[in-house]
């Protein structure tokens, strides 16, 4: 009975009672004086709201004395690796209590020590441990310097005149691109949030610092397109111009893969997110869009305000893609036992049909109303994709320091 009492006391002292949804104890065998009792515990199952834990008290001959089942509200541990340690320590604490059954001072000393450790947050900054050589920190510095352009400062007066010069077919071709872009920018503004949460939970302060600028920039890109459309006099709802390929990516695939990060920060989940978001949506699709704007507008000296804004958007996006490329490399190098590069390739294979859907042209149309040849934009995107895949394929076996020094000059940041 004393063994049971100690476990109950430990739980009462340590966990918040409101988080303990159920606690059952089953007596298995008598504890005799002189026996050394220890407890081993583990998480055996979990559902959406709870962790199911088991703890067994055993003697030196592994004879089970008491078997406990605990049902804990999982927001107590809320998916954080730092918090997960808390559970391990909790189990250790029980073990310590059991080992020191007859030494109350030792028990209380241990309780205070572990409580003290667990109450402390790990601060990168107070330890003077910001890694100033890391690639995310470097991108953060660049973002503070180059990412502060303001869409409201752009003069769209010439753009307004240029818009009027286009015929109906040309306007429709452009509006379709604008609709996909503006919707895409709003979607990625929302969908980057779970990635920020994921790196925060991992305690990657440099990555999180950079991502604060990432979110700001995505919102600004959506604002840029919105202001531009308003200035040239386009006020109608463009939703009907979003294609099935667009819907598939931005309504289904992207939010699903990013939302998963709220619960799952495994290397596989983070790879899936970075490939879909950074390499595919930003790398393959958005870059195809910039190429289109360059070919259709800037070569004809049209829309100077818009083109100047797009130059800034493209540079911001270069940093975003650079971050994604770095993150994938980091995950590949830190988890050599998982074939993550293979996963990158598989994921891209699954996504490429969406790219085909998005760049589809009207039946029989070889050159669009704005002079874009069939297949040219995909050709450009595939070339860019191949260059990034080459960088990613070399990540395995590299150290983090070597990855910090990887040439991301491919991205104009
Ligand atoms: Fe963007
Ligand atoms: Fe972006």
**In angstroms, what is the span from residue 167 Cα to ligand 2's centroid?**
31
DSSP secondary structure letter of residue 56: E
Q: Is 337 helix (H, G, I), strand (E, B) or coil?
A: coil
The Cα–Cα gap between 54 and 337 comes to 30
State the pLDDT at residue 380: 81
Ligand closest to 312 (CA) is: 1
What tokens does 105 get? Answer: 């001072």
Kindly report the pTM of this predicted structure: 0.73
Mean pLDDT throughout 333-354? 93
**In angstroms, what is the span from residue 317 Cα to ligand 1's centroid?**
6
**In angstroms, what is the span from residue 217 Cα to ligand 1's centroid?**
7
**In angstroms, what is the span from residue 139 Cα to ligand 1's centroid?**
16
Residues 138-159 pLDDT 10s:
999 999 999 999 999 999 999 9
State the pLDDT at residue 364: 66
Cβ-contact 316, 221 below 8 angstroms: yes
Cβ-contact 290, 314 below 8 angstroms: yes
**In angstroms, what is the span from residue 144 Cα to ligand 2's centroid?**
15
Q: Is 234 helix (H, G, I), strand (E, B) or coil?
A: coil
How many residues are recorded in the chain? 413
**In angstroms, what is the span from residue 69 Cα to ligand 2's centroid?**
47
**In angstroms, what is the span from residue 308 Cα to ligand 2's centroid?**
17
Task: Give the architecture (CATH level 2) of 135-404.
Answer: Orthogonal Bundle (1.10)
Q: Is 334 helix (H, G, I), strand (E, B) or coil?
A: helix
Cβ-contact 403, 395 below 8 angstroms: yes
Residues 65-96 pLDDT 10s:
888 888 877 654 433 344 444 455 555 555 55
Tell me what the pLDDT averaged over the chain comes to: 83
**In angstroms, what is the span from residue 317 Cα to ligand 2's centroid?**
5
**In angstroms, what is the span from residue 178 Cα to ligand 1's centroid?**
13
**In angstroms, what is the span from residue 140 Cα to ligand 2's centroid?**
14
Q: Which residue has the tokens 């927001």?
A: 75
Ligand closest to 310 (CA) is: 1
Residues 218-245 pLDDT 10s:
999 999 999 999 999 999 999 999 999 8
Domain 2-119 identical in fold to domain 135-404: no
Residue 109: pLDDT band with limits 50, 70, 90:
low
Q: Taking Cα atoms as reference points, which of 341, 353, 187, 355 lies closest to residue 271?
A: 341
**In angstroms, what is the span from residue 141 Cα to ligand 1's centroid?**
18
Overall fold of domain 2-119: Thiol Ester Dehydrase; Chain A (3.10.129)
Which element (helix H / strand E) includes 10?
Answer: helix 2-14
**In angstroms, what is the span from residue 125 Cα to ligand 2's centroid?**
27
Ligand closest to 279 (CA) is: 2
The answer to whether the Cα torsion of 129, 133, 138, 141 is positive or negative is positive
State the pLDDT at residue 361: 65
Torsion of CA 283, 289, 291, 296, to 10 degrees: 180
The Cα–Cα gap between 99 and 106 comes to 10
The Cα–Cα gap between 366 and 413 comes to 34
State the pLDDT at residue 410: 47
**In angstroms, what is the span from residue 136 Cα to ligand 2's centroid?**
15
**In angstroms, what is the span from residue 214 Cα to ligand 2's centroid?**
7
Q: Please list, residue by residue across 308-322, b when 16 or more beta carbons sit within 10 angstroms of its beta carbon and e when fewer do.
A: bbbebbbbbbbbbbb
**In angstroms, what is the span from residue 333 Cα to ligand 2's centroid?**
24
Hey, where are the domains in the chain?
2-119, 135-404
**In angstroms, what is the span from residue 353 Cα to ligand 1's centroid?**
22
**In angstroms, what is the span from residue 185 Cα to ligand 1's centroid?**
5
Find how far residue 132's CA is from the centre of its chain. 22
**In angstroms, what is the span from residue 282 Cα to ligand 2's centroid?**
6
The Cα–Cα gap between 211 and 302 comes to 33
Ligand closest to 211 (CA) is: 2
Ligand closest to 184 (CA) is: 1
Residues 288-338 pLDDT 10s:
888 889 889 988 899 999 999 999 999 999 999 999 999 999 999 999 999
Cβ-contact 254, 247 below 8 angstroms: no
**In angstroms, what is the span from residue 218 Cα to ligand 2's centroid?**
6
**In angstroms, what is the span from residue 189 Cα to ligand 2's centroid?**
8
Residue 362: pLDDT band with limits 50, 70, 90:
low
């Amino acid at each position: 009975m004393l063994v049971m009492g100690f476990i109950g006391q430990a739980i009462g002292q340590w966990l918040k009672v409101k988080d303990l949804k159920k606690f059952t104890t089953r007596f298995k065998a008598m504890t005799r004086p002189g026996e050394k009792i220890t407890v081993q515990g583990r998480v055996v199952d979990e559902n959406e709201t709870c962790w199911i834990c088991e703890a067994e008290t055993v003697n030196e001959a592994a004879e089970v004395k008491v078997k406990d089942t605990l049902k804990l509200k999982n927001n107590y541990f809320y998916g954080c690796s730092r918090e997960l340690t808390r559970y391990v320590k909790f189990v250790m604490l029980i073990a310590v209590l059991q080992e020191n059954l007859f030494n109350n001072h030792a028990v209380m000393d241990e309780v205070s020590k572990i409580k003290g450790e667990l109450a402390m947050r790990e601060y990168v900054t107070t330890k003077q441990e910001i890694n100033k050589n890391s690639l995310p920190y470097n991108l953060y510095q660049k973002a503070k310097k180059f990412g502060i352009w303001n869409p409201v400062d752009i003069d769209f007066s010439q753009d307004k005149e240029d818009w009027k010069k286009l015929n109906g077919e040309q306007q429709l071709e452009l509006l379709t691109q604008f609709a996909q872009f503006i919707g895409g920018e709003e979607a990625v503004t929302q969908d980057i949030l779970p990635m920020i949460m994921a790196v925060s939970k991992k305690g990657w302060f440099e990555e999180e610092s950079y991502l604060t600028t990432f979110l700001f920039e995505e919102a600004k890109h959506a604002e840029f397109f919105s202001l531009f459309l308003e200035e040239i006099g386009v006020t109608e709802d463009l939703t009907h111009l979003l294609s099935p390929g667009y819907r598939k990516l931005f309504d289904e695939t992207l939010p699903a893969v990013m939302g998963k990060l709220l619960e799952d920060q495994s290397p596989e989940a983070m790879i899936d997110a970075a490939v879909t978001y950074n390499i595919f949506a930003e790398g393959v699709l958005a870059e195809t869009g910039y190429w289109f704007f360059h070919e259709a507008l800037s070569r004809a000296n049209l829309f100077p305000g818009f083109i100047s804004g797009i130059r800034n958007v493209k540079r911001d996006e270069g940093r975003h893609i650079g971050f994604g490329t770095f993150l994938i490399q980091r995950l590949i190098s830190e988890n050599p036992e998982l074939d993550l590069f293979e996963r990158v390739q598989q994921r891209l294979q699954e996504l490429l049909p969406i790219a085909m859907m998005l760049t589809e042209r009207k039946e029989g149309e070889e050159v669009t109303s704005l002079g874009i040849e069939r297949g040219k934009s995909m050709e450009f995107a595939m070339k860019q994709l191949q260059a990034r895949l080459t960088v990613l394929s070399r990540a395995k076996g590299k150290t983090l320091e070597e990855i910090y020094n990887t040439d991301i000059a491919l991205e104009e940041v």
